[in-house]
Amino acid sequence: MWITLAGSSWYAPDVADIGIDLDALLVIRVEGLVQAARAADEMGRSNAFSLIVIDLGAPTRTTDRLPAAALSRLSGLALSQDLAIVFLTCKASETTSISSLISLRVETRSTPCGGGAYRTEMRVVKDKRQGPGAIHAEVCRAPAGVR
């Protein structure tokens, strides 16, 4: 399941390009962050999903934050339902995070290598279970929406 804000530019061919079955993917567009958390909460309680992606994009104002109560509820839901909830955000600064309640935070950096390929590096900056510092890098083809 994918939850995204109404003004986002979610591009279905990019998702299909990496092998995700669009017929099996539920996409919900909501007006704001609180609505995104409510949708994740309701869908998570349905027991129909094992992964919920909440695509928040970039905050438009410094007050654009998910309430701690909503994050606490989602954290409890993820644990009780054996559910992964992933928040996607655009990094505003080196120290920006949604909340201290987030258990894993990964930053990515991509650099072009020519021929439509990019070297993408993922660096764990916070991991409550194993500690920060892990790095994974691979060369990937750019998605259709970027080519």
Residue 80 shares a structural domain with residue 119: no
Helix axes 68-81, 33-44, angle to 10 degrees: 20
Residue 77 shares a structural domain with residue 140: no
What is the residue range of 70's domain?
Answer: 2-97
Residue 64 shares a structural domain with residue 91: yes
What is the model's pLDDT at position 59? 61
Residue 84 shares a structural domain with residue 146: no
Residue 29 shares a structural domain with residue 72: yes
Beta strands (DSSP E) in the chain are: 2-5, 27-30, 51-57, 84-89, 104-114, 117-127, 135-141
Query: Could you read off the pLDDT tens digit of each residue along the chain, which spans 147 residues?
Result: 999 988 777 788 888 888 889 999 999 999 888 899 999 999 999 999 999 999 887 665 555 677 888 989 999 999 999 999 998 887 655 555 667 778 888 888 889 988 888 999 999 988 888 888 899 999 988 777 666
Q: Which amino acid is at 104?
A: L
- Number of domains comprising the chain: 2
3-state secondary structure of 14: helix
CA atoms within 13 A on the CB side of 110: 12
- pTM of the complete model: 0.79
